[in-house]
Structure 1
Amino acid sequence: MLIATWNVNSVKQRLEHVLRFLDEARPDVLCLQELKATDEAVPALEIEAKGYNLAVHGQKAFNGVAILSRFPLSDIRRGLPGDPEDIQSRYIEALVSAPSGRVARVASIYLPNGNPTGTDKYSYKLRWMERLAGHAAGLLRLEEPLVLAGDYNVIPDARDVSNPEAWVEDALFRPETRSAFRRLLGLGLTEAVRACDDKPGLYTFWDYQAGAWQKNKGIRIDHLLLSPQAADRLTGTEIHRHTRSWDKPSDHVPVSVTLDI
């Protein structure tokens, strides 16, 4: 089972890119973030015409997450539990049922950016990460293949950024952010890319400004975290960096994991 994640930075503006990636990579599951569209505005007909089921948790102009699957989706949860007053559409989860009868639980996550630090935006980011850890702990008790995929807005380590000094005070690289991410992994989750490849220079995001893509000044903030039952089935990962060179691309590229399911 090939499961991919991609912050598309507007699903309507990048629809042709999404359809091209579906044709090219043939993912069984694709988690999308930053749809910037309501449920009704997501181009479902075009996606379904490619043979995908669709679960959406949208929001007008901001945020928005979705799960596209070649297999049936069930037990769909929209929104991260733990704060009934949080109206931002940043989390969707579903059970994917493969033809073999095996299942995998998949979540599409758009974790808050948190900038600028020292503001309510950063406090919200850290609280959101605490809520995610609490929910993930409950999911892990189900003892099933679980993939928490998405744009985490977290640079885990200095090797995950081309110029660490430039990001020291950024919410994506602050010590509190990285500690919260490590606590998440400490629940028993495996970070798929690093389980397969330990070298520096693996990036998933290049800013639109200052020629970041051309100079390869990137960061790695898109992650797939696996439960032990999923990690045991891990056979490979890929960062699809060539998509960043497409016409009018997202500033993120897809990242995929292959599981023996």
Structure 2
Amino acid sequence: MRIATYNVNGVNGRLAVLLRWLEETQPDIVCLQELKAPQEKFPKAALEAAGYTAYWHGQKSWNGVAILARGRDIHGTRRGLPHDPDPSQSRYIEAAVNGVLIGCLYLPNGNPTPGPKFDYKMRWFEALTAHAASLLATGAPVVLIGDFNVMPTELDVYKPERWLDDALFRPEVRDAFSGLVAQGWTDGIRTLHPTARIYTFWDYFRNAFVRDAGLRIDHILLSPSLKKRLKSGGVDRHVRGWDKTSDHAPVWIELKAPIASRRRATPRAS
């Protein structure tokens, strides 16, 4: 099962890019961020024509998150993070798909810092961390996935010395991410590629993509039962080079089938 996250930076304006990528890679579950579309303007019909059902939480002009599933039902469990410090912002959505609970998120940017936007980011992070702990306590297979707006380590940012005071790299934010992971989550991409410089975002300015001046801010966190099923993962960075594309690239992991499913799929000897 392939699970991916993609900050589309405007689902309607980038719809052609999104559909092209879906056709090319055919992920089973996709989480989208920055829809920048109200609930009624989400392109449900176009995605259904491409083979995907959808569950989404829109917002006019800003934010917005969605979960897509290829050939599967989506059982939505919540729109919005519990105890969200600003519920008017569409930043979290959660659903069960094919036996896995998916929490799709778009964590606040937090700039400029210091200031109210950074304070909001840290309050949102606290709410996410509390909810993540409750999800782990269920023992269910859970994926927390999306645009976290955090570079966890110096490996995750081009020229880290230039980002020391940025809200995506400040010590408080990195500590918050570390504290979240320490609950028992596995950073899928970093686990598979422990020493590699891997980026998921390149700014539109200063020729950043050509220079590979990127950031790794899109993450896929796995609950303990899913860590054992982690098979592969990466970044479809070539999508960032397409015409009229997002400033993010899709990030994905591949999970092995559960052991019970593999046993059922194995024919008995006669």
TM range (shorter): over 0.9
Q: Distance in 1 between matches of 2:86 and 2:186?
A: 31
**Shift of residue 85, structure 1, vs aligned partner:** 4.7
Is the Cα–Cα contact under 8 Å of residues 37 and 59 in structure 2 kept in the other structure? Answer: yes
One-letter identity of the residue aligned with 1:132? L
One-letter identity of the residue aligned with 2:27? P
Map of 1:62-141 to 2, 5 A cutoff?
62-70=62-70, 71-83=72-84, 85-97=86-98, 103-141=99-137
Identity %: 52
Q: 1:87 to 1:200 in 2, by over 3 A?
A: same
- Which sections of structure 1, spanning at least 5 residues, go unmatched? 98-102
1:30-87 Cα offsets, whole Å, 9 max, x none, are: 0000000011101110001111110010000000000001211114210001137521
Q: Give TM-score scaled by structure 2 length.
A: 0.93
Q: Distance in 1 between matches of 2:76 and 2:148?
A: 23
Q: Which has the larger radius of gyration?
A: 2
Paired residue secondary structure (1:184): helix
4+ residue segments displaced more than 6 Å: none
Q: Distance in 2 between matches of 1:83 and 1:205?
A: 26
Name 1:44's counterpart in structure 2. Answer: 44
Map of 1:192-231 to 2, 5 A cutoff?
192-231=188-227
Q: Distance in 2 between matches of 1:62 and 1:85?
A: 14
One-letter identity of the residue aligned with 1:78? R
Is the Cα–Cα contact under 8 Å of residues 37 and 62 in structure 1 kept in the other structure? Answer: yes
Name 2:263's counterpart in structure 1. Answer: none
1:132-175 Cα offsets, whole Å, 9 max, x none, are: 01001111112121111100000000111111011110000000
- Indicate which of 159, 166, 183 corresponds to 2:162: 166
Matched, 1:234 2:235: no
The number of residues matched between the two structures is 256
Is the Cα–Cα contact under 8 Å of residues 144 and 230 in structure 1 kept in the other structure? Answer: no
Deviates more, 1:167-176 or 1:70-79: 70-79
Q: Give TM-score scaled by structure 1 length.
A: 0.96
Name 1:100's counterpart in structure 2. Answer: none
**Shift of residue 199, structure 1, vs aligned partner:** 2.4
One-letter identity of the residue aligned with 2:211? K
1:205-256 Cα offsets, whole Å, 9 max, x none, are: 0000011111110010000000001111100111100001100110000000
Paired residue secondary structure (2:42): coil
- CA root-mean-square deviation: 1.0
Paired residue secondary structure (1:45): helix
One-letter identity of the residue aligned with 1:183? G
Map of 1:240-259 to 2, 5 A cutoff?
240-259=236-255
Matched, 1:10 2:6: no
Q: Distance in 2 between matches of 1:36 and 1:6?
A: 14
Matched, 1:145 2:171: no
Q: Distance in 1 between matches of 2:118 and 2:86?
A: 17
Q: Distance in 2 between matches of 1:24 and 1:229?
A: 29
Paired residue secondary structure (2:208): coil
One-letter identity of the residue aligned with 2:199? Y
Matched, 1:155 2:151: yes
Q: Distance in 2 between matches of 1:47 and 1:10?
A: 15
Name 2:256's counterpart in structure 1. Answer: 260
Paired residue secondary structure (2:176): helix
Q: 1:147 to 1:46 in 2, by over 3 A?
A: same
Q: Distance in 2 between matches of 1:48 and 1:107?
A: 21
Paired residue secondary structure (1:106): strand
Structure holding more helix per residue: 2
